[in-house]
Chain A
């Protein structure tokens, strides 16, 4: 099965967009090879900056470029793009609502071998808390390309999170994506599984397995964490009553939190959250980490069984 890291989708799409639009800038922080922006740097040197290992300055320069009508994409790892430059993004970008994009590879546990220091597992929750910020994680190469383009067209700060490792292709290259609108991949009546990013693939496997067992599953790709498609969440809860959220992120303030807020306020439904249970990661194979932390398709299947059993 064909597979590519979603960071490659960013690198390919930002090059295409940069060649079409000279207001696009890429700001690298000495990890351009890993972030897949070296082609952009070679082919569009006038639209490329490399500020070295200085993320705070990258954020500030991006803010300054945005005041001049440019559309800068800061390119780094999720852990640095969310935490090393957080206050700069909060105060110099989000407060004045400047048109800066933060495009981060190495989301969640995907830089698995690198261990906890390089696994950005708190990033989406952090940015979800900052006003004016939009938070997106696509699941595969083609959706990444479409969502990078959508982020360019979106007026305001956007945090984009990509995977270090390969993700299977799921979407056709002509599939369209709208920021803030989840996608129903399968429709069903018994249970809803809402996934985001790399773990959508685990959710897909679980949904297929459940269907083989005769369970009718609604499966959603919630690639936009913020603004959350609350309407779709509510509609799904009303339809299936039971929901599982699936994300490669700390259990606090990510997709599970966002969905549970909507459900709690509406006072309906039952929820289980698949996520990192408030601990740091460690070095190891990505799939073995998912297994160890109860985040793989078997863990989702178990959560589904529990929810379905309780309902009888």
Chain B
């Protein structure tokens, strides 16, 4: 593994956490917990894995990302700003009237957003439509869908999973940010999915189970996913909701709550020191 690359990506993930928390703090509204749990995955995707061109967001041959857990858009908005799709200042308009940065992502407003999401359970199906079209048009594009583990309660996820397998979509990678918490409590209490990896395997996916905060393991999983032929891949990434901010970690309340000034400053200090 290339240490320089890993260190670079760790730095980007840190920067991403700071930026997304800044946007939520400024808005005094948004979802920090699931944004922080996905930060290492999203940083690695955008700063290493994806074939994209921020100067040409509509480039047809590009890779695509569907953030199916759309409420975690602060992590997406922040990474797109860091990639240069729009000015960093735009992040400060999150959830404000007239902003391109809606509470949940709007593909027609935000350059770099490939699919409008926000209603859970719908993104994987859209990613499948993209993957089918990409194969039909003989593109090398790869399609990534990021789901939450709570989101896997939705029946449509499993309808979609079966069809991804039927159509042998080896250009599709589903990433489950398994942070073990959902809106109302712990996943194991609300709707247990103890055998989540097996559920994806049973649906016909090649499954890689990784630590979703290890840049090395994320990089390795993306590389292995490219080697899989004839079936779709699911990366079940074990994560911590609120990762990087001690008082947010594993606390259900930080699913959809903005920090106050004191909390925000403490959070930023912790991330910077880590």
Q: Which residue numbers of A lie inside 8 Å of B, CB to CB? A: 46, 49, 51-52, 54, 56-57, 59-70, 72, 87-88, 91-92, 95-97
7 closest pairs, A vs B, by CB?
A64-B129, A60-B125, A68-B133, A57-B159, A64-B126, A54-B159, A65-B129
- Measured between beta carbons, the chain A residues less than 8 angstroms from B167 are 49
Additional A-B contacts beyond A54-B163, A57-B125, A70-B133 (14; CB < 8 A): A46-B136, A54-B156, A56-B122, A56-B155, A59-B125, A60-B129, A60-B160, A61-B160, A62-B129, A64-B125, A64-B126, A64-B131, A69-B60, A70-B129
Q: Are B133 and A60 in contact (CB under 8 A)?
A: no
Complex CA distance for A63 and B122, rounded to whole angstroms: 10
Q: Are B125 and A63 in contact (CB under 8 A)?
A: yes
- Measured between beta carbons, the chain A residues less than 8 angstroms from B160 are 57, 60-61
Complex CA distance for A57 and B166, rounded to whole angstroms: 13
- Measured between beta carbons, the chain A residues less than 8 angstroms from B133 are 64-65, 68-70
Is B151 in the interface zone, CB < 8 Å from A? no
Q: Are B127 and A64 in contact (CB under 8 A)?
A: yes
Distance in Å from the Cβ of B165 to the closest Cβ of chain A? 12
Q: Are A49 and B132 in contact (CB under 8 A)?
A: yes
Give the most central of B106, B125, B127, B156: most A CB within 10 Å. Answer: B125
Q: Are A61 and B125 in contact (CB under 8 A)?
A: yes
Distance in Å from the Cβ of B121 to the closest Cβ of chain A? 8
Complex CA distance for A92 and B66, rounded to whole angstroms: 12
- Measured between beta carbons, the chain B residues less than 8 angstroms from A54 are 156, 159, 162-163
Distance in Å from the Cβ of A10 to the closest Cβ of chain B? 21
- Measured between beta carbons, the chain B residues less than 8 angstroms from A63 are 115, 122, 125-126, 129
Complex CA distance for A46 and B167, rounded to whole angstroms: 11
Known: A54-B163, A63-B129. A96 touches B107 (CB 8 A): yes
* B124 closest partner in A (C-beta): A60
Complex CA distance for A69 and B129, rounded to whole angstroms: 11
* B107 closest partner in A (C-beta): A96
Complex CA distance for A62 and B132, rounded to whole angstroms: 10
Distance in Å from the Cβ of B154 to the closest Cβ of chain A? 9
* B68 closest partner in A (C-beta): A60
